[in-house]
Structure formats: C-alpha cells, structure tokens
Amino acid sequence: MTQPSILYGLFLLIVVTLYWVMPNRSDKLWIISISSLLFYGSLQAQYVPLMLVLVGLNFTLGKAIGAPLDWRIPNEAWQYEQADWTRRRTRLLVLGITLNVLLLLGFKYLAPTVSLFSLEAAVWLMPWGLSFFTFECIAYLVDVYRGSPACDRLLEFAAYKLFFPKLLSGPITRFHSFTGQLKTLSLPPLSQNVEGLWLIASGAVKKLLIADRIGLLVNLSAGSLPRAGSGDIWLLAFAYGLQLYLDFSGYVDVARGSALLLGINLPQNFNFPYFSTSIAAFWRRWHITLGDWLRNYLYFPLGGSRNGLARTCINLMLIMLIAGVWHGDRWGFIVWGAIHGLALIVHRLNISLSERVKPLAVFWASVPGIVVAWAITMLTVFFSWIFFRLPNLSDAGLAMSHLFGHSADIQFAQKVYYESSGLSRPQIVLMLVGLVGMIGFTYAIQRGLKLQISWPIKVFLLPICFFLAWVLAPAEAAPYIYFDF
C-alpha cells in the first residue's frame, strides 16, 4: 500500500471514519497507532517489531531524562544531588542518541554490505522511514533534556512516532507541536477537509502525472551515460532536479493532506526552493524540516556562528557533510554535501565582505544582482544533483568528463528521448522550461499577489486532478525517491 493509490485512498477513508466516530482522545490514539502499524506492515512487515521496540526504548529514555530532581533533598545535599542528576540525564541522552545513530548507520552501511554475501540477508535492507524515525527520536530526547516535558503515556508517544502520513519520509515533526494538536481535536470544518483532499490531489498530480514521467527520461539518460553528450548531461541534471522536487514535495502534500483530514497540521517542507537567490535561502525553503533539524540539533550545539567567521565556515561544511552521509553510503552523497557546504561558506564570506564593501552590498540588492545571485544559486544546486543522482563516483566522473564539448552518440536521442516521451531534446527542454514557468506563475500568484484558490473552486478541480493522475500515470508507479534515504 503506497501513497497515493486507490488502496491507500480506501485505507484513509476507513481510518478517517473510525477516527472521528470514536468519542474520546484515547480511542483516537489507538486508531492512529493500530492503523499506522497496519500501514507499515503492508510495506515491510518484518520491521514492525523493530519499530515497536524503538518506540518503547525512546519513550523510556525520555521519561528517565525528564524525571525531575527530588525537591525533598536537604539543603546541604542539594548542590551534590543536582550535579549528579545533571550527569545522569546527560549520560542517558548520550546513550539514547548513540543507540539511535548506531541503528541508523548499521542499516545504512552494514546491511547493504552483508546482503552482497547473503541472499537471506537482503530482506533486512534499510527499513523505510528509519532515517526520519530516528531523527524525530533524537529531537525528542534533546528537547526533553533541554527542559520540555517528557511524554507520560506510551500510547500517545506511539501515536506520534507511528503516525502513518509522515512515517516513511516525514516531514520531520517535533513531539510537542504534534501532541499539542491532539489535545484540542475537533471535527474539522468543510474548508479544512477540502484543503486536505486538495493537498492529496495535488500531490498525486505532482508524483504520478509529472515526476514519474520525468523519471522515465532521467533513468534512461542515467543508464546511457557513455553515449550522452554535454547537453544531455545538463538536461539530465535539470530534469532530475525537477523530478526530485516534484516527487518529494508530492509525497509531503499527500502526507499533510492525510493528516489534515485527521485534524493534524504537519509542518510545511517546501516553499518554492528553486526561486531562492542564495544557497542559504535555498536550505530555508528545501526540505525545511531537515534544515531545521540540522540547524537546531547540530549547527547550534557546535557553536553556530557565535565563535568567529572561521569556525562558522567549519561548522557549515561539517553540517553539510553530515547531511551527505545521512543520505547514503556512497561517495557521491559526500561530494554533494561538500558542494553545498562550500557554497554556504562562500555565501557567508560574501555577506561578511558586503558588510565592509558598500558597493558590493548595493549590487546584490539591485535587480541585476538578484538575477545573478539566483543564477549562481541554481547552477550550484542543479550541478550538485549530478552527484546525488549518480552517487557512484565512476558514474559521476563519466558525467563530469562529458560536461563540456562532448557530442552524443547518434543512438542516444533515439534510445532516451524518443523511448521515454516520443519527443526530441529541444521539445523536452521546452516542456521542462514550461513546467518551471508554471511553477513560477504559481509562486508569483501566491507570494506576489497573495492570492489563493478558494475552496469551492478546489472542490470543482478535485475530481479532475484525481482522474488525470489515475489515467495518465505510468503503468507502474515508481517508489518515492526519498524512501531510499
């Protein structure tokens, strides 16, 4: 059962109906927990026990970390007991983070190696959603350590951790913002239900109608690298950037829409990132919850930008290298992280220089400066996608060697462009540019004119979107790209 599909739609309808029929909050928590286990079991039943163990382990550690100091301690022993209490909480936090990180790294790096030598072990490859699951657990433990109240009900914590709309690929959601909404649940108004269905419909169109179609082109291009010319490599990077954005943002739309039907508002994860005019702005608008997690739980604890420019640059590079490691066990992801780390460093140095050189600051604030900044940012982002899509350095190296001044094999166009879409390369480029233009038009309407589609119009468009996604989708829907991470 995958999102979106007819089976998922029936599953969601049953869950939403049972959820709102149940009279009290505890019953709703049971519905969330059980339905989430059924949902995950339909995909990877062998990992359901692991998820339950992780829920219980992190719940127990959270309660232990959040246990208060006994106020009945005599005054003369207070200072000693407080120091011991702090050390105990710190050890528990380190233990919790270590266990979560080791489990994640074990599945990301050890399991693929073992599977090469054992067919029986191949079934124990990376559990879907484990990265996002462990990131939420670490965030919860750190928040409790910093003073947020620990969850005192295992059922409530299980409902948060297993919540099926966000279980597989986020968005990364913090415990207290999630459960705070559960305490004030009420039957959503018609407009909220329409918004939830609209998000699901738009996510289905992004994923099935557009991203999967672009994916056919990307996969054929990546599989024919030796025959590709320079223009083909750049088109591959451009197409993959669009595919990844529409695939992942489509998933998040379906997740947020499903949650809205259950009265839960999950955080936004994308905000038109390809219209960013700096790499820092890109990371505030791309995979927003991951960027927030990296900033709050790694960048700030490392010192952030408080210890001088040199240390700030080191921290930026370190964080992006960690982001690369998180995405996978191949060197291409490290290179991708290093490119973004270097870009963030250059951006920070440019800010520092612009504060001292006023004409430079004036240029970046002008229209030509904004256009140049956007062009540099997008060139960096789309160039880095080559290493993200081709994480084996041998493949990425081949793509780099064909990046400039290389002619394509005469059979490349026939095999890739005509087999994937029946169009020539100029026609495909025109279609992709038109797609970017449509996204830009939507961005201008929403951000510039502050206009939104009213819910009655969305009601009219809903069946059209669902019908197009159903009829025009490829014969076999591809898994979401971020399920691999």
Task: Tell me what pLDDT residue 124 has.
Answer: 55
Separation in Å, CA 174 to CA 13, 145, 292:
26, 14, 11
Task: Tell me what pLDDT residue 76 has.
Answer: 58
Task: Tell me what pLDDT residue 78 has.
Answer: 59
- Judge whether residue 57 has pLDDT over 80: yes
Cα–Cα–Cα angle for 50, 55, 60, nearest 5°?
Answer: 125
What backbone torsions phi and psi does residue 128 show, to the nearest 5 degrees? -60, 135
- Two structure tokens written together for 329: 């066990």
Residues 6+ positions from 287 with CB-CB distance below 8 Å: 248, 269, 270
HSE-up (13 A, CA, CB side) for residue 139: 23
Task: Tell me what pLDDT residue 339 has.
Answer: 97
d(CA 130, CA 51): 9
d(CA 68, CA 60): 14
d(CA 101, CA 142): 14
Residues 79-100: what's their mean pLDDT?
88
d(CA 369, CA 361): 9
67 pLDDT band (50/70/90 cuts)? confident
Task: Tell me what pLDDT residue 472 has.
Answer: 77
Residues 202-216: what's their mean pLDDT?
92
Q: What is the pLDDT of residues 451-482, one digit of tens each?
A: 777 878 888 888 888 888 888 777 777 788 88
- One-letter amino acid identity for 437? G
d(CA 87, CA 95): 12
User: Using the 8-state DSSP alphabet, how is residue 85 labeled?
Assistant: H
Q: What is the pLDDT of residues 130-167, one digit of tens each?
A: 899 999 999 999 999 999 999 999 999 999 999 999 99
Please identify which residue in the block is written with the tokens 């928590």. 29
Task: Tell me what pLDDT residue 79 has.
Answer: 67
- Judge whether residue 219 has pLDDT over 70: yes
- The whole-model pTM stands at 0.92
Separation in Å, CA 460 to CA 198, 201, 328, 457, 467:
10, 12, 42, 5, 12
Q: How many CB atoms lie within 10 A of CB 207?
A: 27
Share of the chain above pLDDT 70, in %: 94
178 pLDDT band (50/70/90 cuts)? very high
18 pLDDT band (50/70/90 cuts)? very high
Categorise residue 44: left if φ over 0, alpha if ψ from -120 to 50, beta otherwise.
Answer: beta
- Long-range contacts (CB closer than 8 Å, 24 or more residues apart) made by 187-196: 187/20, 187/263, 188/260, 188/261, 188/263, 190/455, 191/455, 192/260, 193/260, 193/261, 194/455, 194/458, 194/459, 194/462, 195/257, 195/260, 195/455, 195/458, 196/256, 196/257, 196/258, 196/259, 196/260, 196/261
**Which carries the bigger pLDDT value, residue 385 or residue 447?**
385
- One-letter amino acid identity for 461? L
Mean pLDDT of the chain: 89
Q: Which position among 327, 340, 347, 402 bears the catalytic label?
A: 327
Separation in Å, CA 470 to CA 374, 395, 420, 462:
36, 35, 19, 12
Categorise residue 452: left if φ over 0, alpha if ψ from -120 to 50, beta otherwise.
Answer: beta
Task: Tell me what pLDDT residue 201 has.
Answer: 94
Contact of 4 with 207, CB cutoff 8 Å: yes
Residues 302-323: what's their mean pLDDT?
92
Task: Tell me what pLDDT residue 113 has.
Answer: 60
- Judge whether residue 116 has pLDDT over 90: no
70 pLDDT band (50/70/90 cuts)? low
The answer to whether 402 is a known catalytic residue is: no
Task: Tell me what pLDDT residue 377 has.
Answer: 97
- Judge whether residue 119 has pLDDT over 60: no
- Judge whether residue 269 has pLDDT over 60: yes
Please choose, from the candidates 276, 269, 386, the residue with its C-alpha nearest in 3D space to the C-alpha of residue 339.
386
Q: What is the pLDDT of residues 282-303, one digit of tens each?
A: 999 999 999 999 999 999 999 8
111 pLDDT band (50/70/90 cuts)? low
Q: What is the pLDDT of residues 399-443, one digit of tens each?
A: 999 899 888 887 888 888 887 778 888 999 999 999 999 999 988
